[in-house]
Amino acid sequence: LAIGPEQKILSRVSAGIIWVAALLAAMLSMDRLFETDYDDGSLDLLVLAPHPIEILVLAKVLAHWLTTGLPLIIISPLLGIFLHMQPNGLWVMILSLLLGTPVLSLIGSIGAALTLGSRRSGVLISLLILPLFIPVLIFGVSAVDAALMDLPVRPQLLLLGALFLGAFALSPWASAAALRQAVE
């Protein structure tokens, strides 16, 4: 509503709008990622279980991504059409969201584990993880912008892939360490 109905303007900002929607979808539910397990005491049992807690973290992150990231990826072509995005940008949008939204869930799990048990954890999580989400947002939007300008998108997508692999390698262990600390 604030932008107006002009097709040129909507087309220019469509990638940013969809990526901000992905960011907000990931952040709004992040504070409840481990909270229910912590409140009912099942997290204590999971930490003491013989299997690694990192697997639990990956399962929780996968469930978070399936409920926040995947639905947005599925409807992103429709949103792109509504916002007058050119067809060559739609495929790059889907690919960048496929690479970027899991990173949002993985990094967010660290913030959720660090703020477990604190009051107003939603605000604290936002302060902790929002600076780490900015590179994902920048590379995701710039990949779509490059596609819309008929420039190569490979560098941005490779950087998003590198962010995904780095977050996938480090996030479960960092989250597990924070969960062990919260339980003690």
Tens-digit pLDDT profile for residues 63-114? 999 999 999 999 999 999 998 898 889 999 999 999 999 999 999 999 999 9
Alpha-carbon distances, residue 172 vs 101, 106, 158 (angstroms): 16, 8, 22
Q: Is the CB of residue 160 less than 8 Å from the CB of residue 96?
A: yes
Q: Name the burial class of residue 13, with classes exposed (0-12), middle (13-18) and buried (19+) by CB atoms within 10 angstroms of its CB.
A: middle
Q: Is residue 154 included in any domain, yes or no?
A: yes
Q: Do the domain assignments include residue 143? A: yes
CA 161, 128, 146, 8 dihedral sign is: positive
2: in domain: no
Query: Cβ(80)–Cβ(89) under 8 Å?
Result: yes
Look at residue 1 and tell me if it is in a domain: no
Helices 87-114 and 154-183 pack at an angle, to 10 degrees, of 20
Domain membership of residue 107 (yes or no) is: yes
Angle formed at CA 74 by CA 92 and CA 57, multiple of 5 degrees: 95
State which residues form the domain around 34. 7-183
Q: Smallest Cα–Cα separation from 113: which of 65, 26, 180, 28? A: 180
- Residue 132 within a domain: yes
**Is residue 67 assigned to a domain?**
yes
pLDDT tens, per residue, the chain with 184 residues: 567 778 888 888 889 999 999 999 999 988 888 888 888 888 888 888 888 999 999 999 999 999 999 999 999 999 999 988 988 899 999 999 999 999 999 999 999 999 987 887 778 888 999 999 999 999 999 999 999 999 999 999 999 999 999 999 999 999 999 999 988 8
Residue 149 lies in a domain: yes
Dihedral Cα 168, 170, 176, 177, nearest 10 deg: -170
Domains identified in the chain, total number: 1
